[in-house]
Structure formats: C-alpha cells, structure tokens
Amino acid sequence: MTALTDSPIVITMGDPSGVGPEVTVKALAALPAPERRGFAVVGDLRVLGRALRASGIDMPLVAPGGDGIAVIDVPVDGLPDRFGVLSSRCGEACFQYIRTAVEWAQAGKAAGIVTAPINKEALNSAGHHYDGHTGLLAHLTGQRASWMLLASERLNVIHVSTHVSLRTAIDRATPERVLATIRTGDRHLRRMGIATPRIAVAGINPHCGENGLFGTEDADNLAPAVAAARAEGIDVAGPISADTVFHRAFNGAFDLVVAQYHDQGHIPIKLVAFDTAVNVSLGLPIDRSSVDHGTAFDIAGTGRANHVNMLSALSYARRLGQHERASA
C-alpha cells in the first residue's frame, strides 16, 4: 500500500499512565502548524488534556484537520485518574489505540503509524498476549513475520529476533530467518534511497566461534545465509565478530548491521543514539515508526519527559511517506 499524501500520520499515545501522552503533545506543540496538521493522535481526550496541563502547554485538542492537536478519541472505561499507575485498563486502552490506528492505515485513511510506548505487563494483564508492538502489529495486519529496525544517524541495526530468551534467540537464528532478515533490511534501505546498501551480519559466538572452538552456529547457520544473499546480488559481509562490527558500521563501513538478538543490537544503538534512535517495524503492509524508550512511570505526569525521541520518530515517519513502498 502506498501512503496517501492527504491522509494524516496517526500517533498512538501509548499507555495512558506513562510518558507517551506527554511526549506526544510536547512534540506536536513544537512543530510548525503546517507540519502539525499532518498528524493526529489516537488516544483519550481526558488523558491528553492532563498531559497538556502537566507540560504547561496551552493548545486546543481538536478533530483531525483542525488548528491545534488533532485527536481521534478512543475512550476506554476505568482508566486511572493519574499517571504512573500499572493498570490492566491501560493495557486494554493501548490495544484499542493500536487496533484503531491499524484500521485507519489499512483503510488508507492514515499514511502511517507512530507509536508512543506501551507497558508489556499492562498489555498482557488485559488479556492481549504479545511481546510488544512488533508482534501485536504483525498479528493485526495478518503477517507471520516482522522485524525490528533501530535507525539512527550513524548506526542502523535490524534484529533476527527480539523479545525472546537468549537461548530461544540462538535457536531462531536459522539460515532461513537470517537470510530473510538480510533481504528485509536491504529492501528497506533501497526504499530509503541507498542504491546498494552495505550490510554486515554480526556473529553469535565470541569471534564467530573461532573455527568451531567456541561454537559452530556462525558457520552452520549464519555463513550459509550470507552466501545465499550474496548470490542474490546483495552486498553483505559476515558473519563478523560482534565486538567490532558495530564500531565499523558507526564509522561508515556499513549502512546496516544484522544483529542476532535483542541486546546485541540494542546496546550499541542506545550507547550512541539514546535520545534519537527510532524503532521501525519492517515486513508489515503498513508503515510504523516509534520512540525507542519505555513508559517511564516514575516521571510520568511531572512534565519532565523528554520529547526529542518522539520528534525523531515523527521525522522518520515523514521520510517513510516520501518513499514508495517496494513490493516484497
């Protein structure tokens, strides 16, 4: 699906008890009016009103197309009347906001989705058993597989697996999944304007196993995937020892690193781009970008939440809308 230029990008406000409502209104208030009119928030009017007051922002909440912060109101009964509360009702609200946003995107009424943070415990306590946004979005859009890309100015990382145990992650790093991850990352970067993306595949074991001394997964699973991708014309190297590959990519040797599991990819990104990295879902029929931080219940409602990461997510969503989706 190609995004419609006259459709807004919708922002799910995240857990009503977290910092999502605050960083959303702060980011939108910081945009020039013409840019702000390209977004609409899917959430709760009452909660967004509290977030505005906590942030000291005097701006009206209006219907989409109006002059202010546009809101698609999705009321959910039983929400806490204050921030910083872990609640199953907030988990239910998160689900309803995301489902509404997906429906808008699939119907062509939204050009894409930006998500504020949700709390996985709250989501699951409401009976929605997903590992987070990526799995939930894959389910709602009918996709069997999806990928998490963390994008920043100097380092981009796509993950073979994310929210699973390390033991499970190693089992999931099959030649088929690694090859699919390489293809997905290559296709995305080509869409974003890089004619021939340079991709590196990070190894699993220390020093990629040292020829079997520290394990054979790199030779048995990763190397065949790299060879198959190269045979398809993809510029990919590896497996490369994970203790050097991210440094090399950060300094310009590669456009993308394929990380084998959650922390392998998240740690370097959060070290070099903690406030600006954007979480992007790939492999879906809709566009989705997100902040790369959590609900921060401890500071929610205090007015202290930093909205820089949300501004980065909004900017990436606009960039996605400027590039036509490629067919899988």
Closest by CA to 101, choosing from 142, 46, 52, 40, is 40
Cα-based distances in Å from 106 to 2, 86, 101, 298, 311: 10, 31, 9, 35, 24
Domain ranges of the chain: 1-146+280-328, 154-272
Cβ 15 vs Cβ 122: under 8 Å: yes
Q: Which residues, other chains included, contact 68 with Cβ-Cβ below 8 Å and sequence gap of 6+?
A: 59, 60, 61, 62
Q: Quote the pLDDT of residue 144.
A: 86
Q: Looking at the domain that runs over 154-272, which CATH code has it been given?
A: 3.40.718.10
Q: Quote the pLDDT of residue 326.
A: 57
Q: Which residues, other chains included, contact 255 with Cβ-Cβ below 8 Å and sequence gap of 6+?
A: 156, 189, 194, 197, 198, 199, 249
The stretch 220-230 carries a mean pLDDT of: 97
User: For the segment 271-297, what is each residue's pLDDT rounded down to a tens digit?
Assistant: 999 889 999 999 999 999 999 899 999
Say whether 154-272 and 1-146+280-328 share the same fold: yes
User: For the segment 300-325, what is each residue's pLDDT rounded down to a tens digit?
Assistant: 999 999 999 999 999 999 999 887 76
Closest by CA to 277, choosing from 263, 291, 260, is 291
Q: Which CATH architecture has domain 1-146+280-328?
A: 3-Layer(aba) Sandwich (3.40)
146 or 325, which is more confident: 146
